[in-house]
Chain A
Amino acid sequence: MSVKTDSTPVPTAESRQRQQTNLEIWSERLAALAPLWTLVVLGLLFGVASQGSFLRSVNLNNIMVQSSTLAILATGMTFVLLTGEIDLSIAAVMGLTGMISAKLFNSGMAEPLPTIIALGCAILMGLISGIASMRFRIPTFMTTLAMSMIADGLNQWISGGKTVFTLSEFMQYLGSGRIGGDESILRVLTVMSIAILLLGFVILRYTRFGRYVYMTGASKSAARLAGVNTSAIIVACLVISSFLAGLAGIANAGRLGSALPLAIPSYLIETIAAVVLGGTALTGGRGSMLLTGVGVLTYQTLRNGLDNIASIDNFMKVFITGLVLFVALIINVVFSGKAERDRT
């Protein structure tokens, strides 16, 4: 039975452990990256099915642009979901900040004041939801839901239900400007979203605050016993999420060329979907910011890919998107869940 160990020199406890688990470690690492493999497979599938039109650089660039706003939102949402909480107000906050900065600009205020004030409002909203939740022990699910109605209501009130078409140059630059002249393919929004996502990654992975975020999500009681102020961490994450939603709102208005008097609710669900597609657990403590980026790309690939396949009936597209999303979720969540938590 144990012939093998008898015939070889006795390894140290450590090296024996390594030998036994080398293969396991690799399979774990591969499984942890399941969202990435899903993205690659989806991309290849669409590439073949669309006879190459999906993989054209114009289209890939399109996906990047479409992903940008979502990536900013998803960065904030990843912080919140990692603590085991949720922020339902992002879509409404997004709409509100676009409107506030547009209205202030039109009232004669010079940039960057309108942007700063709008972002200040976003921060305040996150702060209020967070403090209300922590102080009165109301689930963030409810406080941020209420906050989403408050923000959307304010938006409607301020705008009087009218879309604002005159935006500051700064907003337009954020939303549709290009770095290095109009011919450049480098969009300000794309670069900004990648920078934000990477910054989020660095904060989560390498800073003390990031560790506290993970530990708060992994076990609130244990984190509190270790002296972590879990309430403050959760409030901070809600503030980050709200701030980034505000930034996304201003940039998105700039991209569309108008500030809408209503929130676009689908942004909320799409953000959560993208983060979960990246393998972040809704229960907290587990997930990675880079994979959130992958999740965002996967989601947009899904939305975009079918448009490139001419033979598909237009009325079937949503149905197929739903099916593929289902399968992708199962693969990503099951595999990255099975893999051991980030070993850093």
Chain B
Amino acid sequence: MNTMPVLELKNISKRFRTLQALDRVDFDLREGETHALVGENGAGKSTLMRILAGIYSEYEGDYLLDGQPVHFNSPAEALHRGIGMIHQELSVMPELSVAENLFLGQQPLTPFRMLDWRKMNRVAEEELAKLGFEHIDVRRPLEKYSLGTQQVVEVLRVIISGARVLIMDEPTTALSPAEIERLIELIDVLRKGNRSIVYISHFLNEVMRVADRITVLRDGKKVTTIARTETSVDALISLILGHEIKTEMPPALIKQHERVMLDAKDLTADVFTKINLQVGAGEIVGLYGAIGAGHFEVARALYGLYRFDQGSISVDGKPFPRNFSAHYAIEHGVAYAIESRRKSLFMDEANYKNITLPHLARIARIVPRQAQEIKVAESAMKVVGVYPPDPVNPVGKLSGGNQQKVALARWLTFPPKVLIVSEPTRGMDVGAKSDVLSILRTLANQGIAVLVVSSEPETVLAVADRIAIMSRGNIVAHMENKNLNKDILMRLL
């Protein structure tokens, strides 16, 4: 490996009004190196990454590329000099073909300035073959492929546009374990092709597999940069947190399930078959599966948003009618927080409006009073600890973890009998994660039946009393969360 830095940041500082986001941070990236950036949310990783990618052009300090000082005013300028970014939310166009996506914005043209489809498809095939993805048909619409493949296409697109430095922001959040494996293989190939990668992730296990060096940020300051071979996941966690790991989970109450709150029998739809699930009052059950296993659809079916052909659902002993609506589910004590906060929250609207919306009918038959709504929202926000605790602040201005707390606060106004949460901790830092998980435990201790649906083994392992594992639409295992670990779960997928 060449040890000459391709890119170097020296003494970088960045302020947002009163917040010192970065404080004299140094960072360097060598040729052919994968350099991971880790830290809690708010530690400064995204700020650093945005400076690298040219999104933020105002900062103090020096940015050197091949030893020469540079200053980018836009991501386009950075890309022009070979620095490309792969965003957490994919920016591919699902309806376009794979080849079109690969050449988005730079399609090859014929001498008559028309799209050169033949050349585009041929070059796309060559590029894919070079990296071992010849099984992808470049003429098919991208949406026909899995999220993992879409991710790969996004990476290749940035490479085709000439990037030798790739910034990957949480590239694996939406991927199944198999897809993660493939992405890691791709990173290996890229590394051998002398591309340099800045890898940002919350998943320290992954970081330990892909990174050559790891830089830890905390509160806007660089803690250290270490070689992967000289550290471990546990060591990284204590570097990230600045102290030894503490578990502040409230203890699980031991409960007899004399009161089954949620009872699903033989639920069958196109993507799942004969799902049997019981969640007792005060119990947290984890429904774990890889992306595409059908567990998210089960969650939606339980809330009346996914049609099932057979089976029955009853809540607190009361059977639900066949095609019940989400409104019916809410009225009968089912609450559901989905995996995508962007889809479930009104980002431009005030917190209180987001929180009270499902319960408006119960707050007031016809005319809801703002003062009362705010009061209701305020107390719910206090329970989950939203920061800043301003009920008229738009949700979109909060951090991801706080948005998730608002999504949960929504269901605390009138505590439900059954709470279903999909991916409650996706994309969150360690601190916010444990906050959210302990909120779930608190709710369960109040007698609510909680179903946690997730593709992150860490999440279900951390919070569930029992775990049901789904694979290809079936529940393949069902066990107490005792002496379980990630390996066991992964093996059952």
- Which residues of A are interface residues toward B (Cβ below 8 A)? 2, 5, 13-14, 16-17, 20, 206-209, 211-212, 215, 218-219, 221-229, 285, 340-341, 343-344
Query: In whole Å, how far is B233's beta carbon from the nearest beta carbon of chain A?
Result: 35
Q: Find B392's partner among A16, A20, A211, A343 (CB 8 Å cutoff).
A: A343
Contacts of B305 in A (CB 8 A): 224-225
Query: In whole Å, how far is B27's beta carbon from the nearest beta carbon of chain A?
Result: 24
- Tell me whether B327 and A228 are in contact (CB under 8 A): yes
Query: In whole Å, how far is A137's beta carbon from the nearest beta carbon of chain B?
Result: 15
In the bound complex, what is the Cα–Cα distance between A13 and B349 (angstroms)? 21
Contacts of A341 in B (CB 8 A): 348-349, 394
Query: In whole Å, how far is B412's beta carbon from the nearest beta carbon of chain A?
Result: 14
- Check if B109 is an interface residue, CB within 8 A of chain A: no
Total CB contacts across the A-B interface at under 8 A: 77
- Check if B216 is an interface residue, CB within 8 A of chain A: no
Residue-wise, chain B 342-354 has the 8 Å CB interface mask toward A (1 for contact) of 0111101110010
How many of chain B's residues touch chain A, expressed as a range?
Answer: 20 to 34
Query: 12 more A-B contacts (CB under 8 A) besides A20-B17, A208-B368, A219-B346?
Result: A16-B18, A207-B366, A208-B365, A209-B366, A222-B343, A222-B344, A225-B326, A225-B344, A226-B344, A229-B325, A285-B348, A341-B349
In the bound complex, what is the Cα–Cα distance between A212 and B350 (angstroms)? 14
Contacts of A225 in B (CB 8 A): 305, 326, 336, 338, 343-344
Contact flag A222-B327 (CB < 8 Å), given A208-B366, A227-B358:
no
- Which residues of B are interface residues toward A (Cβ below 8 A)? 17-18, 305, 325-327, 329-331, 336, 338, 343-346, 348-350, 353, 357-358, 360-361, 364-368, 370, 388, 390, 392, 394, 410
Query: In whole Å, how far is A227's beta carbon from the nearest beta carbon of chain B?
Result: 4
Contacts of A206 in B (CB 8 A): 367
Query: In whole Å, how far is B420's beta carbon from the nearest beta carbon of chain A?
Result: 11
- Tell me whether B357 and A226 are in contact (CB under 8 A): yes
Query: In whole Å, how far is B325's beta carbon from the nearest beta carbon of chain A?
Result: 7
Contact flag A229-B370 (CB < 8 Å), given A215-B357, A219-B346:
no
In the bound complex, what is the Cα–Cα distance between A226 and B331 (angstroms)? 11
In the bound complex, what is the Cα–Cα distance between A221 and B346 (angstroms)? 10
Contacts of A227 in B (CB 8 A): 325-327, 329-331, 357-358
- Tell me whether B357 and A228 are in contact (CB under 8 A): yes
Contacts of B364 in A (CB 8 A): 208
Query: In whole Å, how far is A4's beta carbon from the nearest beta carbon of chain B?
Result: 11
Contacts of A221 in B (CB 8 A): 343-344
- Tell me whether B360 and A208 are in contact (CB under 8 A): yes
The chain B residue sitting closest to A212, CB to CB, is: B360
> Of residues A208, A209, A212, A223, which shows the largest number of chain B Cβ atoms within 10 Å of its Cβ?
A208
- Tell me whether A224 and B326 are in contact (CB under 8 A): yes
Contacts of B358 in A (CB 8 A): 226-227
- Tell me whether A211 and B353 are in contact (CB under 8 A): yes
In the bound complex, what is the Cα–Cα distance between A227 and B326 (angstroms)? 5
- Tell me whether B388 and A13 are in contact (CB under 8 A): yes
- Tell me whether B367 and A207 are in contact (CB under 8 A): yes
In the bound complex, what is the Cα–Cα distance between A228 and B330 (angstroms)? 10
Q: Find B357's partner among A14, A209, A211, A343 (CB 8 Å cutoff).
A: A211
Contacts of A229 in B (CB 8 A): 325, 327
- Tell me whether B388 and A208 are in contact (CB under 8 A): no
Between-chain CB contacts (< 8 Å), 30 pairs: A2-B18, A13-B388, A16-B18, A207-B366, A208-B364, A208-B367, A208-B368, A209-B366, A211-B357, A211-B368, A215-B346, A215-B349, A215-B353, A218-B346, A218-B348, A219-B346, A221-B344, A222-B343, A223-B357, A225-B326, A225-B336, A225-B338, A226-B330, A226-B357, A226-B410, A227-B357, A228-B357, A229-B327, A285-B348, A340-B348
Contacts of B360 in A (CB 8 A): 208, 211-212
Contacts of A207 in B (CB 8 A): 366-368
Contacts of A226 in B (CB 8 A): 326, 330, 344, 357-358, 410
Contacts of B368 in A (CB 8 A): 207-208, 211
Contacts of A211 in B (CB 8 A): 353, 357, 360, 368
- Tell me whether A344 and B327 are in contact (CB under 8 A): no
In the bound complex, what is the Cα–Cα distance between A215 and B357 (angstroms)? 9
Contacts of B326 in A (CB 8 A): 224-227
> Of residues A5, A14, A207, A226, which shows the largest number of chain B Cβ atoms within 10 Å of its Cβ?
A226
In order of increasing CB-CB distance, the 3 nearest A-B pairs are: A227-B330, A226-B357, A227-B327
Query: In whole Å, how far is B44's beta carbon from the nearest beta carbon of chain A?
Result: 19
> Of residues B336, B367, B370, which shows the largest number of chain A Cβ atoms within 10 Å of its Cβ?
B367
In the bound complex, what is the Cα–Cα distance between A115 and B422 (angstroms)? 53
Q: Find A208's partner among B346, B349, B361 (CB 8 Å cutoff).
A: B361
In the bound complex, what is the Cα–Cα distance between A218 and B364 (angstroms)? 22
In the bound complex, what is the Cα–Cα distance between A161 and B348 (angstroms)? 51
Query: In whole Å, how far is B20's beta carbon from the nearest beta carbon of chain A?
Result: 10
Contacts of A343 in B (CB 8 A): 350, 392
The chain B residue sitting closest to A286, CB to CB, is: B348
